[in-house]
Structures are given as structure tokens and as C-alpha cells.
A and B are shown apart, each in its own frame.
Chain A
Amino acid sequence: MSEKKQQVSRRQFLNYTLTGVGGFMAAGMLAPMVRFAIDPVLQTHARGEYKAVAEVDEITTEPQRFDWTIDQVDAWYESEVTKSAWVYKDEKDDIIALSPVCKHLGCVVSWEGSGDYPNEFFCPCHNGRYYKDGVNVPNTPPSAPLDVYEHRIEDGTLYLGNAKPRGEA
């Protein structure tokens, strides 16, 4: 019996206990810190819901308007809101989805909305114009490019998320 007790010396016993307790404490401190650090990765699906908007085959190099509805919760109401986007493929075959909301005062722009300005988005309210890539034509009322929707393609279907101002997208 006494020989067996000798196998763990007092010094070793203290070392083990201290390492163990210290380990727990370190883990207790690190775990929340790690959780904070990887938080953005875990968050991606929580916000910015994507909605199926169109089939990829439908999309051409000519901008087309697609409408879809989302449930929007304002402080008091939950309502169905119709959203729209002008969607086309650019020269590199990338899909571009532009928000139709004019950056001047919020009217709805349309592709080739005026016969005088082919190949441009046109805002009927104050003759605001945007080039095909959504950049505002200088010397027209809008002061910023059209917002761009975040997009994702799954199984040949285009999903759109939130519209982001140019630069952040």
C-alpha cells in the first residue's frame, strides 16, 4: 500500500492539481473570447434573407425587371412589401441586380424609360439618368449610383438579398 502511494509524490500531485485548475480557468476565459472572434462567421445566415427571384436562364444581357414580395416588420405592422430589381448579365457573364430606387428622391427608375436616352436607366420624376452599370450620369439630379442587391445562385435559381449602396456591395 505505502509503496503504491509513493508513485505520486506530493510535488507531482500539486503540479497536476494546479495544471488542472489553471487549465479550467484558462478555458473558462478563452471560450467566450473565441466565440466573440468567430461570431461574424456564425451570423451570416441570421440576417439578410435571400429570396428566390428568377431562373438564371431567364436572365439576358438586357436588363429585365423582376418583382418579389418580402414580409417586412415595422415597429407596429407586419406587411408584405413588393421589391423589384433590374437584373442582367454583364460582358463577363456576371449577374448584376440593381435596385430600381432612384438615389435622388426615391422614385422608381426604368430601363430605357425615355426614348431620348437609349441604353440608360431613366427616372421619370426629374429626368435622372444612370448608365447600364447603375452609375449615375453626371449633371443629372442623382448624386450616387443605384444600389446593388447581394445575390446568390443555387441550382440555377437567382436569390437576392439586401440592396447595398455601391462600394459596400
Chain B
Amino acid sequence: MKWNKIDITRYLGAQEYIDTLLIPLVPIALEDSEQMNQVVSQHDLIQAFSNEVEKDFTGRIFLLPTYTYLFTTDREQELPRLNEWINQSQHRPFKHIFLFTFDHHWKKHESKLKGNLLWFPAIQSGDLHSNETQKVIKDQVKHVKELVRSYW
């Protein structure tokens, strides 16, 4: 289920079946051009990634809008806000919470997060639409799907 009107209506009618929450984490940068490039490709990739995973598991995964934060802020400071998102989700019958990210800075704070952090090394090959990149992504997505299933 995605964050849109049609899916929300469906979600509210079948909440008990959708027990997995997916939050993509993406940094934002506006100062440094190099960083901008890097975070934009992270954003593109995470979008493609989460959509693919959601597509196959529509009936069990709820995909939240991307959680964004400044690249320059210490992740330690972001922890309470992100954890508050997760706390809020406990008003709904979610059993599994996955945080998808290509930002390795989170890895260090993994233990303080209230969800399962899934960090992937980003593919920096530039063109997201080239056939080769798509093949690599599809392959990665396949493994991610297996991983998600193993938690159910």
C-alpha cells in the first residue's frame, strides 16, 4: 500500500493484514554540489527500490513517504525524530518496521533505532534507466524481498 488516497481507503479496510511498515531514509543536501549529486542518486535508487518491493507485497507492506533529513546534521540528532515516527506507527497493527537506506551513516546508530535498518551500498553508476543498472537493481530487489519474507 502506498501513501495515496486509493490505497489508504484499502488499507483502512484491511489493516490487520498489513503488518509491515517500510520507511525509506534519504538525506537532503543543498550546499555542496558533489553531495547533491550523491543524495539525488540515493533518492532515485531508494524510490525505485521501495516501489519494487511494495509492488510485489502490496497486500502486506505499507510504504510511507520518504523520511528526509539534512545530510549535514548528525544522525544522532535525527534519532529521536525518526523514532517518533516509528512510535506513531504503533497506533496501527504493524509488527515489522523496515528502514531502507543507502546512507551508511545510520549504520553506526542502528542499535538505537526502533526499526530494522536495512542499509545497502548504493550503485553509483549514474543512469538509472540503463538496462544494466536495471538488471542489477532487479537482482538486488529480489534478495531484499527474500530478506523481508524471512521476517514474516
Contact = CB atoms under 8 A, between A and B. Distances in A.
Q: Do A and B bind each other?
A: yes
B18 interface: yes
Interface of B: 10, 14, 17-18, 55-60, 149, 152
B61 to A, nearest CB: 8
B64 to A, nearest CB: 18
Contacts of A125: 17, 57-60
A105 B56 contact: no
A107 B17 CA distance: 12
A105 B152 CA distance: 17
Interface string A102-131: 101111100000000000000111100000
Given A124-B149, A125-B60, A126-B60, A108 B55 contact: yes
A105 B149 contact: no
Contacts of B60: 105, 107, 125-126
Given A106-B58, A107-B60, A108-B58, 13 more contacts: A105-B10, A105-B14, A105-B18, A105-B58, A106-B59, A107-B58, A108-B57, A124-B57, A125-B57, A125-B58, A126-B17, A126-B59, A126-B60
Contacts of B56: 107-108, 124
